C-alpha cells in the first residue's frame, strides 16, 4: 500500500491524471460521461418495458 503513494508509481500518476480532469469548465470526466450514457439507456429500456 505504501508504494501507491510513491510519485513514481503508475497508480499515483493515474490518480493525479483523474484529479486533473477539467471539472471547472463544466465538463464531466470521460468516465462520468460514459456512465451517464449507460444509465440513461438503462432508464429508457426500463421505461419502455414498464
10 is written with which cell numbers? 503508475
pTM comes to 0.39
- Considering its fold, how many domains does the chain have in total? 1
pLDDT above 90 covers a percentage of the chain that reads 14
pLDDT-based confidence at residue 40 (cuts at 50, 70, 90): very high
Among 3-7, 24-28, 29-33, 44-48, the minimum mean pLDDT is found in 24-28
**Buried b / exposed e along 5-36 (16+ C-beta atoms within 10 A):** eeeeeeeeeeeeeeeeeeeeeeeeeeeeeeee
Across the chain, mean pLDDT equals 72
Measure the CA–CA gap between 23 and 19, rounded to whole angstroms: 9
Domain that holds residue 13: 2-49
Each residue's pLDDT tens digit, 23-39: 544 565 678 888 889 99
The three-point CA angle 6-32-34 to 5° equals: 120
Write phi, then psi, for 39 (nearest 5 degrees): -60, -45
Amino acid at each position: 500500500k505504501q508504494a501507491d503513494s510513491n510519485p513514481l508509481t503508475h497508480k499515483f500518476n493515474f490518480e493525479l491524471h483523474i484529479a486533473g480532469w477539467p471539472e471547472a469548465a463544466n465538463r464531466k470526466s470521460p468516465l462520468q460521461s460514459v456512465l451517464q450514457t449507460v444509465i440513461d439507456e438503462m432508464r429508457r429500456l426500463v421505461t419502455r418495458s414498464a
